[in-house]
Amino acid sequence: MAVKHRFFGTDGIRGRVGSDIINPEFVLRLGWAAGRVLSQQGKRRVVIGKDTRISGYMFESALQAGLSAAGVDVYLLGPMPTPGIAYLTRTLHADAGIVISASHNPYHDNGIKFFSAEGEKLPEETELSIEAMLTRPVQTADSRDLGKARRINDAAGRYIEFCKRAIPIQATLRGMRLVVDCANGATYHIAPNVFLELGAEVIVIGDQPDGLNINEGCGSLYPEKLREAVLHHRADAGIALDGDGDRVIMVAHDGKILDGDDLLYIIAGVRLQDKHAPEEVVGTLMTNIGLEQALNDMGIRLIRTKVGDKYVLEEMKRRDSRLGGETSGHILCLDKTTTGDGIIAALEVLFAVLQSGKTLSELTAGWQKYPQVMINVRVSRSISLETSEPIQAEIQKIENVLGKKGRLVLRPSGTEPVIRVMVEAEDQEMARTCAESLAKVIEGETV
């Protein structure tokens, strides 16, 4: 039976700044607790990076104080994408990495996420040990044993060079005009330089962070702004990252917006030319059925997991898969790095353009995205979807109508009292009719 965490969620600890757990006092204690657990294991070096939200300064100082009090040395990276922190954790031979970020959330949220020495998620037993240590009073190490702090001034340059190595050294983006939207987040001083140094002409937007504008009307959550810029500048492609740089959405020269499913299709296609062509791609319950069919046509299986890049990563490691991701733009290329990386995923896609001589729109023309309708049904009480006869009867009816030409996904939200109804079908109206019909039955069961 799985042990229930008190503080850690699927992606670290996250919440609104000033809440019970995302406040300076708690974060100092968290740094001390993590430091004590690590030092008991003989580990005494941690790197800390953050995105650009204003509360990052406060939490960086709190973590540093807590870790130092526990006798752990700290390497400060400053603003750095989440995948960059994972990379530098490995190359600096640190015992753990800490990310201060709430990813694609607005500025008033923040969070703390940990990486192991290998740049991967902390083992569950380590998280539980940290939670247990949090119940103890903070005890400062003897003065001679306090941890020291050092700022890594060339952290951005190290990560830029790592990203550039994602494509063959002889490859160049010379002749490409790109628009890069950094979401006023952690990639603002990194992503443009990666593409510039590879030879592209780069037009940058969303690169003026002020601590409050991260993800605000820009980046991967709002690709329409990037689309306008691509069309205005007559660019070959656009790249929209999120606040911590682990998601990417792209735009083709003609304004077509490409989500994570599109990008997985392109990357899988170009890798078919490689002697290590993928036999499978790992997606989620929300991955479009059209992608599944297109991959099958290429001889590649789609493996589905629960929604969340954590589950995609776990399944990829279990199956030793190299390519996976989510519709939201979390793309994992585990032969390149250990976690989702928006810059590296974008480079993989641009390399496909170079290899094929085709535009992004042409590269996605080989698959048909099924219309998808999502309805969130708010429920006032807990219901069993599996034992409700009216719900099960309606599900059977819809599945008979859809056959192999569509898909139904029904799942409760993990964060709010909502049942999510998702239907995919070849026809938008059919998808909508089926979704609304099931939503109505669920609402009737909760009265």
Residue 10 in this model has a pLDDT that exceeds 80 = no
On whether both 171 and 215 belong to a single domain, the answer is yes
Q: Which domain holds residue 92?
A: 13-153
For residue 379, what pLDDT is reported? 84
What is the predicted pLDDT for the residue at 24?
A: 97
Residue 63 lies in a domain: yes
Look at the chain and report how many structural domains it folds into.
3
Between residues 411 and 408, which one has the greater pLDDT? 408
Q: Given this model, what pLDDT does residue 317 score? A: 94
**177 and 309 housed in the same domain:** yes
The CATH number that applies at residue 123 is: 3.40.120.10
H or E segment to which residue 157 belongs: helix 155-164
Residue 124 has what pLDDT?
A: 86
pTM assigned to the model: 0.92
- Is 38 within a domain? yes
- On whether both 148 and 162 belong to a single domain, the answer is no
Q: So what's the pLDDT on residue 385?
A: 84
Q: Does 6 reside within a domain?
A: no
Per residue in 81-92, pLDDT tens? 999 999 999 999
**Domain final residue, candidates 301, 328, 363:** 363
- Local confidence band at 345 (pLDDT 50, 70, 90 cut-offs): very high
Which residues are tagged catalytic? 103
Lowest mean pLDDT among 1-15, 154-168, 202-216: 1-15
Judge whether residue 292 has pLDDT over 60.
Answer: yes
**Cα(289)–Cα(151) distance, integer angstroms:** 47
pLDDT at 29 over 90: yes
C-beta of residue 207 within 8 angstroms of C-beta of residue 188: yes
pLDDT at 25 (0 to 100): 97
Beta bridge partners of 113: 99
Q: For residue 1, what pLDDT band results from cuts at 50, 70 and 90?
A: very low
Report the greatest alpha carbon distance in the chain: 72
Nearest Cα residue to 209 out of 231, 182, 190, 230: 182
Within 148-236, strands assigned E span: 149-151, 177-181, 201-205
